[in-house]
Structure formats: structure tokens, C-alpha cells
Amino acid sequence: LSAGWTMEQYEHQYRQAFAEAAKAADHTWKAGKPIPEGALDGITRESVESGRKSVDIKL
């Protein structure tokens, strides 16, 4: 695999995890709006790389 493709996949996984966490914390959240405080605290490298969809929200 090329390094560019691999980095693109990581970027996509993290972007998706961040968006899901923001929406879980505030169902009205949309891209471009500030992310609610604490919404990203439960995201770990392990959870993103394993593809787990659940997000542990610590508010």
C-alpha cells in the first residue's frame, strides 16, 4: 500500500470518529460548528483503529 493511501484512510477514520462524537454530544451539531466541550475526550487511537463505532462521551 502506498503511504498516501494509508494516511488518507487514517484521516477518514479520525474525521468520522470526531463527527460521530460531536453529533452524539449535540444532535444538532453540523460540520463547521464548534465541537461541544468534552465531546472528543472518549476517542482513543485504539477505538478509531479498531473500527469500533461506540463513542465514550465524558461530559
Tens-digit pLDDT profile for residues 5-58: 788 888 999 999 999 999 999 999 999 999 999 999 989 998 888 876 555 555
Of residues 2 and 16, more confidence is placed in 16
Count how many domains the chain has.
1
Please choose, from the candidates 35, 31, 33, 57, the residue with its C-alpha nearest in 3D space to the C-alpha of residue 44: 57
User: CB of 55 within 8 A of CB of 43?
Assistant: yes
Does residue 55 fall inside a structural domain?
no
Please choose, from the candidates 40, 38, 36, the residue with its C-alpha nearest in 3D space to the C-alpha of residue 14: 40
Does residue 36 fall inside a structural domain?
yes
Does residue 19 fall inside a structural domain?
yes
pTM above 0.75, yes or no: no
Of residues 55 and 2, more confidence is placed in 2
Range of the domain at 24: 3-50
Does residue 42 fall inside a structural domain?
yes
CB count within 10 Å of CB 22 equals: 21
Task: Identify the pLDDT of residue 31.
Answer: 93
